[in-house]
Amino acid sequence: MAHLRLQGSKVLAVQLTGDAVRAKNGSMVAYDGRMNFKKLSGGGDGLRGMVTRRLTGEQMEVMEVRGEGTCWFADKATEISVVSLRGETLYVEASNLLCTDAGLRTGTTFTGLRGASQGQGLFTTTVEGSGQAALLSDGPAMALRVSSAYPLQVDPGAYVAHQGQLRQHFQSGVNFRTVMGEGGGEAFQIRFEGEGVVWVQPSERKTFGGDL
Protein backbone atom coordinates (compact mmCIF):
# COMPACT_ATOMS: atom_id res chain seq x y z
CA MET A 1 0.00 0.00 0.00
CA ALA A 2 1.25 3.49 -0.83
CA HIS A 3 2.48 5.61 2.08
CA LEU A 4 1.40 9.26 2.21
CA ARG A 5 3.33 11.73 4.36
CA LEU A 6 3.63 15.49 4.55
CA GLN A 7 6.86 17.21 3.61
CA GLY A 8 6.22 20.57 5.17
CA SER A 9 2.59 21.65 5.21
CA LYS A 10 2.11 22.23 1.47
CA VAL A 11 3.79 19.24 -0.19
CA LEU A 12 2.65 15.60 -0.09
CA ALA A 13 5.30 12.89 -0.51
CA VAL A 14 4.00 9.47 -1.63
CA GLN A 15 6.21 6.39 -1.40
CA LEU A 16 5.27 3.75 -3.99
CA THR A 17 6.51 0.16 -4.14
CA GLY A 18 4.76 -1.07 -7.27
CA ASP A 19 1.35 0.16 -6.10
CA ALA A 20 -0.62 3.25 -7.12
CA VAL A 21 -2.38 6.40 -5.98
CA ARG A 22 -4.93 8.67 -7.60
CA ALA A 23 -4.21 12.38 -7.48
CA LYS A 24 -5.58 15.66 -8.77
CA ASN A 25 -4.49 16.03 -12.38
CA GLY A 26 -1.45 18.30 -12.74
CA SER A 27 -0.56 18.20 -9.02
CA MET A 28 2.69 16.24 -9.43
CA VAL A 29 5.69 18.53 -8.83
CA ALA A 30 8.55 15.98 -8.79
CA TYR A 31 9.32 12.26 -8.63
CA ASP A 32 12.20 9.83 -8.50
CA GLY A 33 12.35 6.17 -9.50
CA ARG A 34 10.10 4.73 -12.21
CA MET A 35 6.57 6.13 -12.53
CA ASN A 36 3.70 5.77 -14.98
CA PHE A 37 1.00 8.45 -15.21
CA LYS A 38 -2.50 7.80 -16.57
CA LYS A 39 -5.30 10.36 -16.80
CA LEU A 40 -8.64 9.22 -15.36
CA SER A 41 -12.08 10.77 -14.84
CA GLY A 42 -12.80 11.68 -11.23
CA GLY A 43 -15.99 11.61 -9.21
CA GLY A 44 -16.51 7.84 -9.08
CA ASP A 45 -15.32 4.46 -10.29
CA GLY A 46 -16.56 2.52 -13.32
CA LEU A 47 -19.63 3.05 -15.50
CA ARG A 48 -21.82 4.00 -12.54
CA GLY A 49 -19.35 6.69 -11.58
CA MET A 50 -19.33 8.09 -15.10
CA VAL A 51 -23.13 8.33 -15.17
CA THR A 52 -23.22 9.85 -11.68
CA ARG A 53 -20.68 12.50 -12.68
CA ARG A 54 -22.81 13.53 -15.64
CA LEU A 55 -25.92 13.82 -13.47
CA THR A 56 -24.37 15.54 -10.46
CA GLY A 57 -21.57 17.67 -11.85
CA GLU A 58 -19.33 16.53 -8.95
CA GLN A 59 -16.26 16.02 -11.09
CA MET A 60 -12.51 16.44 -10.83
CA GLU A 61 -9.66 15.65 -13.19
CA VAL A 62 -7.71 12.71 -11.75
CA MET A 63 -4.53 10.89 -12.71
CA GLU A 64 -3.32 7.48 -11.59
CA VAL A 65 0.34 7.29 -10.61
CA ARG A 66 1.88 3.82 -10.43
CA GLY A 67 5.48 2.73 -9.96
CA GLU A 68 8.40 2.50 -7.59
CA GLY A 69 9.95 5.50 -5.89
CA THR A 70 8.69 8.75 -4.40
CA CYS A 71 6.29 11.19 -6.00
CA TRP A 72 5.65 14.68 -4.64
CA PHE A 73 2.31 16.47 -5.06
CA ALA A 74 1.18 20.06 -4.38
CA ASP A 75 -1.56 22.42 -5.54
CA LYS A 76 -0.98 26.19 -5.65
CA ALA A 77 0.87 26.15 -2.30
CA THR A 78 -2.38 25.07 -0.61
CA GLU A 79 -2.21 23.46 2.84
CA ILE A 80 -2.46 19.65 2.94
CA SER A 81 -3.78 17.25 5.59
CA VAL A 82 -3.48 13.43 5.56
CA VAL A 83 -6.46 11.37 6.74
CA SER A 84 -6.37 7.64 7.51
CA LEU A 85 -9.44 5.50 6.78
CA ARG A 86 -10.10 2.09 8.36
CA GLY A 87 -13.13 0.81 6.52
CA GLU A 88 -14.86 4.18 6.91
CA THR A 89 -16.33 6.76 4.57
CA LEU A 90 -14.90 10.25 4.12
CA TYR A 91 -17.17 12.96 2.68
CA VAL A 92 -15.19 15.71 0.97
CA GLU A 93 -15.71 18.47 -1.58
CA ALA A 94 -14.09 17.45 -4.88
CA SER A 95 -12.04 20.66 -4.94
CA ASN A 96 -10.55 19.73 -1.54
CA LEU A 97 -9.36 16.23 -2.49
CA LEU A 98 -5.71 15.98 -3.56
CA CYS A 99 -4.77 12.28 -3.44
CA THR A 100 -6.04 8.84 -2.38
CA ASP A 101 -4.71 5.30 -2.26
CA ALA A 102 -5.79 3.59 -5.49
CA GLY A 103 -7.49 0.90 -3.41
CA LEU A 104 -9.98 3.37 -1.93
CA ARG A 105 -13.35 3.61 -3.67
CA THR A 106 -14.65 7.00 -4.74
CA GLY A 107 -18.20 8.02 -5.55
CA THR A 108 -20.79 10.73 -4.96
CA THR A 109 -23.59 11.19 -2.46
CA PHE A 110 -26.54 13.53 -2.03
CA THR A 111 -25.89 16.28 0.53
CA GLY A 112 -29.09 18.31 0.29
CA LEU A 113 -29.10 22.06 0.64
CA ARG A 114 -25.54 22.30 1.96
CA GLY A 115 -24.18 21.73 -1.52
CA ALA A 116 -26.59 24.25 -3.02
CA SER A 117 -25.49 26.89 -0.53
CA GLN A 118 -21.94 26.62 -1.87
CA GLY A 119 -22.94 26.75 -5.49
CA GLN A 120 -21.42 23.31 -6.00
CA GLY A 121 -24.54 21.27 -6.69
CA LEU A 122 -26.36 18.94 -4.32
CA PHE A 123 -23.68 16.24 -4.23
CA THR A 124 -20.27 15.69 -2.68
CA THR A 125 -17.47 13.15 -3.17
CA THR A 126 -17.16 10.02 -1.02
CA VAL A 127 -13.96 8.08 -0.33
CA GLU A 128 -14.47 4.59 1.16
CA GLY A 129 -12.28 1.72 2.37
CA SER A 130 -8.97 1.36 4.19
CA GLY A 131 -6.03 3.58 3.30
CA GLN A 132 -5.00 7.21 3.22
CA ALA A 133 -6.35 10.34 1.57
CA ALA A 134 -4.89 13.84 1.35
CA LEU A 135 -7.08 16.93 1.70
CA LEU A 136 -6.48 20.48 0.47
CA SER A 137 -7.47 23.54 2.46
CA ASP A 138 -7.07 27.30 2.17
CA GLY A 139 -4.95 27.69 5.30
CA PRO A 140 -4.25 24.95 7.87
CA ALA A 141 -7.32 22.72 8.28
CA MET A 142 -8.76 22.15 11.74
CA ALA A 143 -10.12 18.73 12.70
CA LEU A 144 -13.05 19.42 15.04
CA ARG A 145 -14.51 16.58 17.10
CA VAL A 146 -18.30 16.20 17.22
CA SER A 147 -20.04 14.21 19.97
CA SER A 148 -23.63 13.61 21.01
CA ALA A 149 -23.12 16.13 23.83
CA TYR A 150 -21.39 18.72 21.64
CA PRO A 151 -22.93 19.23 18.16
CA LEU A 152 -21.08 21.56 15.81
CA GLN A 153 -22.21 24.49 13.62
CA VAL A 154 -20.05 25.16 10.56
CA ASP A 155 -19.98 27.94 7.99
CA PRO A 156 -20.70 26.25 4.61
CA GLY A 157 -17.91 28.24 2.99
CA ALA A 158 -15.35 26.90 5.49
CA TYR A 159 -16.40 23.23 5.26
CA VAL A 160 -13.81 20.83 3.82
CA ALA A 161 -14.78 17.26 4.79
CA HIS A 162 -16.28 15.07 7.49
CA GLN A 163 -16.01 11.51 8.72
CA GLY A 164 -17.89 9.32 11.19
CA GLN A 165 -21.50 8.72 12.17
CA LEU A 166 -22.70 12.27 11.61
CA ARG A 167 -26.03 13.78 10.62
CA GLN A 168 -26.00 17.18 8.98
CA HIS A 169 -28.74 19.77 8.81
CA PHE A 170 -28.75 22.95 6.76
CA GLN A 171 -30.19 25.87 8.72
CA SER A 172 -30.34 29.64 8.77
CA GLY A 173 -28.48 31.30 11.59
CA VAL A 174 -26.59 34.31 12.82
CA ASN A 175 -22.82 34.70 12.82
CA PHE A 176 -20.37 37.38 13.91
CA ARG A 177 -20.38 39.25 10.60
CA THR A 178 -24.17 39.38 10.52
CA VAL A 179 -24.27 40.80 14.06
CA MET A 180 -21.71 43.46 13.11
CA GLY A 181 -23.74 44.45 10.05
CA GLU A 182 -21.09 43.18 7.59
CA GLY A 183 -23.00 40.26 6.11
CA GLY A 184 -24.03 40.44 2.46
CA GLY A 185 -27.21 38.41 2.85
CA GLU A 186 -28.95 35.79 4.99
CA ALA A 187 -26.49 33.67 6.96
CA PHE A 188 -26.57 29.86 6.80
CA GLN A 189 -24.91 27.15 8.83
CA ILE A 190 -24.43 23.39 8.71
CA ARG A 191 -25.24 21.66 12.01
CA PHE A 192 -23.47 18.33 12.59
CA GLU A 193 -24.80 15.91 15.19
CA GLY A 194 -23.57 12.47 16.23
CA GLU A 195 -20.02 11.14 16.59
CA GLY A 196 -17.23 12.05 14.19
CA VAL A 197 -14.80 14.67 12.92
CA VAL A 198 -15.34 17.71 10.68
CA TRP A 199 -12.48 19.44 8.86
CA VAL A 200 -12.82 23.18 8.33
CA GLN A 201 -10.52 25.74 6.73
CA PRO A 202 -9.75 29.25 8.01
CA SER A 203 -10.95 30.79 4.75
CA GLU A 204 -14.43 30.94 3.26
CA ARG A 205 -15.77 30.29 -0.21
CA LYS A 206 -18.40 32.54 -1.70
CA THR A 207 -21.86 31.06 -1.20
CA PHE A 208 -25.38 31.67 -2.48
CA GLY A 209 -26.30 32.59 1.09
CA GLY A 210 -24.15 35.72 0.98
CA ASP A 211 -20.79 36.56 2.54
CA LEU A 212 -20.76 34.30 5.58
| pLDDT tens-digit readout, 5-42 | 999 999 999 999 999 999 999 999 999 999 999 988 65
What CA–CA distance (Å, rounded) separates 47 from 51? 6
Question: Count of CB atoms within 10 A of residue 170's CB?
Answer: 17
Give residues with Cβ within 8 angstroms of 15, minimum separation 6: 2, 3, 5, 69, 70
Give residues with Cβ within 8 angstroms of 21, minimum separation 6: 2, 4, 14, 64, 65, 71, 99, 100, 101, 102
Task: Tell me which DSSP letter residue 117 carries.
Answer: H
Q: In this predicted model, what pLDDT tens digit does every residue of 88-137 receive, in sequence order?
A: 999 998 889 999 999 999 888 876 554 444 444 457 889 999 999 999 99
Task: Tell me which DSSP letter residue 52 carries.
Answer: H
What CA–CA distance (Å, rounded) separates 184 from 95? 24
Q: What is the dihedral of CA 46, 48, 51, 55, to 10 degrees?
A: -130
Q: In this predicted model, what pLDDT tens digit does every residue of 158-200 receive, in sequence order?
A: 999 999 999 988 777 655 455 545 554 446 788 999 999 999 9
Nearest CA to 167 out of 182, 147, 185, 139 is that of 147
Q: Which residues of 56-71 are buried (b: 16+ CB within 10 A; e: fewer)?
A: bebbbebbebbbeebb
